[in-house]
Amino acid sequence: AARMAAPTRQERTACWGARDEFWQCLDRRGEGAAECEELRRAFEARCPQQWVKHFDKRRDFLKYKKKVETEGYIPPETAAKS
């Protein structure tokens, strides 16, 4: 795999901007909304691949954290029964 050069400040800013727009769309429309697909592609195009993976994980983590804060922690075994 070709080693990617570190993104310039401009590239980082473009990446973060694309990520924020994409995430805002998901927050408004819901995960996996078709309207956000274009923003998802822009996000992937503007960010290094490993950043995309990292941000996806980060978003999942933040959503999980928020859920725990609002609903409380639900152990997996109780969740399975309900």
Q: Each residue of 29-52: pLDDT tens digit?
A: 998 899 999 999 999 999 999 999
Buried b (16+ CB within 10 A) or exposed e, 14-26: bbeebbebbbebb
Looking at the predicted structure, is the pLDDT value of residue 76 above 60? yes
- Report if residue 67 sits inside a domain: yes
CA dihedral 38, 40, 44, 50 (to 10 degrees): -170
Instruction: Answer whether residue 2 is part of any domain.
Output: no
CA distance 25 to 35: 8
- Is residue 29 a part of any domain in this protein? yes
Q: Is residue 41 part of a domain?
A: yes
pLDDT of residue 82: 47
Residue 21 falls within a domain, yes or no?
Answer: yes
The answer to whether position 4 is within a domain reads no
Count structural domains, the chain.
1
Q: Model-level pTM?
A: 0.76
Task: Please compute the mean of the pLDDT values over residues 7-16 and round it to a whole number.
Answer: 94
Distance between CA atoms of residues 69 and 63, nearest Å: 10
Contact 26, 33 (CB under 8 A): yes
* Domain ranges, residue 72: 9-80
Residue of 58 and 3 predicted with greater confidence: 58
